[in-house]
Amino acid sequence: MNAINIINQASIKENPPVVNIGDVVRVYVLIKEGDKERIQAFEGTVIAKKNGGVSETFTVRRVSYGVGVERIFPIHSPHVAAVHVIRRGKVRRAKLYYLRDRVGKAARVKQRI
């Protein structure tokens, strides 16, 4: 168990991004294509956070060309270059899975002031 704890402490980022449920975020992901690397942005609403510590993840949802797309990002992953919060959301739930059934303006989250 000691070895596992040491590995976990080594892989934790010093300043992990602070994201909350309902926030609209832009996640910059490091993409490797052959021997080249580039950064790709993925913008959407945070609908879930899971686990804690090293294995903490958050799920981001967006609608692209009429199709809902969800991606799960580990907070402490080296492939997540940066996370910028575009807008803070005001929600009263821990998981926003109900947004999957909503379309258009009904899928919006109120802004926290």
| Structure confidence by residue, pLDDT tens digits, 26-55 | 999 999 999 999 999 999 999 999 998 888
What is the C-alpha separation between 18 and 83, in angstroms, rounded?
Answer: 8
Kindly provide the residue ranges of all beta strands, DSSP E only, lying in the chain, ordered along the sequence.
24-33, 36-50, 57-64, 67-74, 80-87
- 47, 59 Cβ separation under 8 angstroms: yes
Structure tokens at 66: 């009429």
- The full set of domain ranges for the chain reads 2-102
pLDDT for residue 23: 95
Structure tokens at 33: 């294509």
| Structure confidence by residue, pLDDT tens digits, 50-94 | 998 888 999 999 999 999 999 999 999 889 999 999 999 999 999
First to last CA, the chain: 44
**Rg of the chain, C-alpha, whole Å:** 16
| CATH-assigned architecture of domain 2-102 | Roll (2.30)
Count of CB atoms within 10 A of residue 87's CB? Answer: 12
- 80, 74 Cβ separation under 8 angstroms: yes
pLDDT for residue 40: 96
3-state secondary structure of 101: helix
